[in-house]
Copies of this chain bind each other. A is one copy, B any other.
Amino acid sequence: MNESIERIKTLAAKLHGGDFLLTWEHTPADVEAVLLAAKVLEQLHRDNVSARVFDSGLAVSIFRDQSTRTRFSFAGAANMLGLAVQELDEKKSQIAHGETVRETANMISFNADVIGIRDDLFLGQGHKYMAEVAAAVDEGCRAGVLDQRPAVINLQCDLDHPTQSLADLLHLERTFGSLESLRGKKLAMSWAYSPSYGKPLSVPQAIISLMTRFGMNVVLAHPEGYDLVPETLENAGRFAAECGGSFTHTHSMQEAFREADIVYPKSWAPYAVMQERTKLLEAADTTKLDALEKDCLAQNARHKDWECTERLMSRTRDGKALYMHCLPADISGVSCEAGEVSADVFERTRLATYHEASHKPFIIAAMMLLTRSENPAATLRRLIERGTPRQFQEM
């Protein structure tokens, strides 16, 4: 822990007072500081040392899409630092209207230290909404309406899913021993078949935008028509060039898996469908929306062979690539008839995916700590020195 804290001190991370919305807006120092703080918080939790930094305060959450995993991770993170979760339920609120985002953002922030938002349903909207909330609390702070500026944390938008990709990166660091050892490793971010509709594009976009920053050779694979938002492909290309790795793009899952060190087979919706869907939803055209869903599922069904099987896994480096998934996976014969991954592959790697998921509460807590704390290294050191047991220790 001391080493991590010393390293945080030397990094010129600039997270204090700001938000965490898109990894590519943050410096390598910011990203590394999140990982380091998360590791210290994990160790504190294992050692039964309280990480309580707030005596009171609210962590507001806004979920514009279903969530179990991220909801519990956010709750765990907030609670760990001493914040109480207060969820904003938008049903019948007027928050959807441009004007009142400004207002609502301030109304929920008088006692808020953090605002976590999931808004991943519509292309062109999620990130925009988060940026509006951030601008509104900026204005509220400048005007003296808010005593403190709550940090806005992206719990998944249309562009990025930073709490997932950073938890994944921490999983890679743990698995391969260090960030340095990730250089030159091949990661296959591949589309996979799922019988479900409208899955967000943010996970693959997050993975290609982040992993290329660590010298990895990232291959993106998907059938034709399953493109990602161009900005994120540009990120991946630029970062690969800058950081000594590579970014390639293929329409073959087989090719992507060949000699891969890591595979991430995961379904997402066709790009054109997501764009069309946004328009139809705005127009509230339910007839066309139903038709679109049918088309989309039919389109998916043409690619049932995009499944992560043992045969495909055998093509990876020594047949032993690390399997990753943000969960829940669509497991063939288990959670659906045919899905993203075969039952044998998933069962073999199941507990590893739980480990992968276990980092998320600590990644979120690290983002909260780094955005809200002026000197996070000193804060972490004080937590260790204070040594308050999380649970009372009897003699």
Contacts and interface: CB of A to CB of B under 8 A. Distances in A.
A107 interface: yes
Contacts of A145: 351, 354-355, 358
A55 B388 contact: yes
Interface stretch (A68-76, A120-128, A157-165, A247-255): A68-76
A178 B100 CA distance: 31
A280 interface: no
A235 interface: no
A54 B111 CA distance: 17
Contacts of A27: none
Q: How large is the interface on A (under 10, 10 to 19, 20 to 34, 35 or more residues)?
A: 35 or more
B50 A335 contact: no
Contacts of A351: 139, 143, 145
Given A392-B53, A392-B382, A147 B45 contact: yes
Contacts of A389: 55
A321 B360 CA distance: 51
B355 A382 contact: no
Contacts of A103: 327-328, 350, 354
Which of A45, A76, A372, A388 gathers most chain B CB within 10 Å?
A76
A378 interface: yes
A146 B374 CA distance: 31
A379 interface: yes
A160 B110 CA distance: 24
Give the number of times this chain occurs in the complex, counting copies.
3
A264 to B, nearest CB: 18
A381 to B, nearest CB: 9
Given A52-B56, A140-B354, A88 B108 contact: no
A72 B94 CA distance: 15
Contacts of A55: 50, 52, 388-391
A72 B395 CA distance: 32
Contacts of A357: 106-107, 110
A278 interface: no
A54 B88 CA distance: 25
Nearest to A357: B107
A335 B379 contact: no
Contacts of A94: 328, 335
Contacts of A88: 68, 72
A192 interface: no
Contact of A106 (B75, B108, B354, B372): B354
Interface in A355-391: 355, 357-358, 360-361, 372-375, 378-379, 382, 388-391
Interface string A342-354: 0000000011001
Interface stretch (A78-86, A201-209, A221-229): A78-86
Given A45-B111, A57-B391, A68-B88, 7 more contacts: A50-B56, A52-B55, A54-B392, A60-B72, A99-B331, A99-B334, A143-B354
